[in-house]
């Protein structure tokens, strides 16, 4: 099994690597397309903006390589925070055109209703069964934007922040969490372990 963690300019790959190693698994950073050749599963961390993330992935050729692995070869994939948001077609953040693997868009929280960004622990309830059981519990968020899937069947977990919003998504071999699994204590590690065991 070869776990690949995408290492790009706007990411927090070392933190995710540390979480994987805490679980007793090994992983490798991937920063160029050829690094994904032997991937058993792929994790795309996210820090920063959707636009900057997509620009970085396109400039290095990683965007096309990820499409080949995830969409065509069906390699298990986990996107974290911005790594989840760019799974959709469009983000209001920098008017970014994203992967479009999931139908829908990413919108900004209404600052008239809630403090933006959302920062801290929030409860997530998993509503969609997947190939592994994700634990309901409190996870750590840092986000000004949230995903709005076109297909409600792609919503994996929900949370409340002003209104109910999609906190995690799933479609076939694709998983995404708006919260930071690597900063979410035991609940985050349990979810990460469940994903890795898919491989």
- Verify whether residue 41 is a known catalytic residue: no
Based on the residue annotation, tell me whether 89 is a catalytic residue of this protein: no
Of 189, 81, 175, 178, the closest CA to residue 135 belongs to: 189
**152 class by beta-carbon count within 10 Å (0-12 exposed, 13-18 middle, 19+ buried):** exposed
Could you say which of 41, 69, 81, 98 is catalytic? Answer: 81
HSE toward the beta carbon, residue 76, CA cutoff 13 A: 15
180 has catalytic annotation: yes
Catalytic residue (one of 41, 98, 154, 180): 180
Residue that the structure tokens 């919503």 belong to:
155
| Angle (nearest 5°) at CA 151 between 150 and 153 | 150
How far apart CA 33 and CA 111 sit, in angstroms, is 39
Which residues make beta-bridge pairs with 146? 107
For the beta carbon of residue 72, count every other beta carbon within 10 angstroms: 8
Q: Tell me which of 93, 98, 154, 182 is the catalytic residue.
A: 182
Question: What positions carry a catalytic annotation?
Answer: 81, 180, 182
């Amino acid at each position: 099994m070869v776990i690949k963690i995408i290492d790009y300019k706007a990411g927090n790959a070392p933190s995710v690597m540390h979480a994987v190693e805490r679980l007793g698994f090994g992983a490798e950073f991937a920063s160029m397309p050829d690094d994904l050749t032997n991937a058993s599963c792929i994790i795309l961390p996210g820090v920063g903006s959707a636009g900057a993330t997509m620009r970085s992935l396109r400039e290095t050729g990683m965007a096309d390589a990820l499409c080949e692995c995830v969409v065509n070869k069906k390699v298990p994939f986990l996107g974290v925070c911005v790594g989840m948001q760019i799974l959709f077609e469009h983000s209001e953040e920098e008017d970014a055109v994203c992967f479009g693997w999931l139908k829908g868009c990413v919108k900004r929280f209404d600052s008239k209703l809630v403090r933006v960004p959302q920062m801290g622990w929030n409860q997530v309830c998993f509503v969609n069964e997947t190939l592994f059981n994700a634990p309901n519990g409190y996870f750590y968020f840092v986000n000004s934007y949230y995903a709005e899937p076109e297909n409600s069947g792609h919503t994996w977990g929900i949370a409340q922040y002003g209104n109910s919003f999609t906190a995690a998504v799933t479609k076939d071999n694709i998983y995404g969490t708006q919260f930071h699994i690597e900063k979410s204590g035991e609940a985050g590690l349990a979810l990460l372990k469940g994903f890795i065991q898919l491989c």
